[in-house]
C-alpha cells in the first residue's frame, strides 16, 4: 500500500555543487594508487580492470610496446 504525503510536508532540497568543468569532474573521479605511493598523473599510465585505479607504467615495469589489452593491479590479482 502506497503512503500518502501530507500537503504541508517539507521536502529536502539538494543544492547543485559547482564541480568545475566536465574534464575536471572526470579527473576527480579517477584514482591514482601506484606502488610508488605518488599520486602524480604524468607519463604513461594504465588502469586496473578490477578496481579501476591508475598506475604508472614505469613503476610496474610496463613499456609502451608491451601494454596488455587488460590489466589487473597487484591487489586485484591476489
Every domain of the chain and the residues it spans: 22-66
Intervals of the chain under pLDDT 50? 1-5, 9, 11-28
pLDDT of residue 27: 46
CATH number of this structure's domain 22-66, picked from the four choices 3.40.50.920, 3.40.50.80, 2.40.400.10, 3.30.40.10: 3.30.40.10
State how far the alpha carbon of 57 is from the alpha carbons of 2, 3, 16, 71, in Å: 54, 55, 37, 11
Give the global pTM: 0.59
Amino acid at each position: 500500500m502506497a503512503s500518502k504525503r501530507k500537503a504541508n510536508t517539507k521536502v529536502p532540497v539538494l543544492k547543485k555543487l559547482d564541480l568545475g568543468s566536465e574534464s575536471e569532474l572526470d579527473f576527480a573521479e579517477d584514482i591514482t594508487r601506484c606502488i610508488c605511493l605518488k599520486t602524480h598523473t604524468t607519463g604513461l599510465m594504465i588502469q586496473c580492470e578490477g578496481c579501476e585505479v591508475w598506475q604508472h607504467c614505469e613503476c610496474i615495469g610496463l613499456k609502451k610496446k608491451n601494454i596488455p589489452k587488460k590489466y589487473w593491479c597487484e591487489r586485484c590479482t591476489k
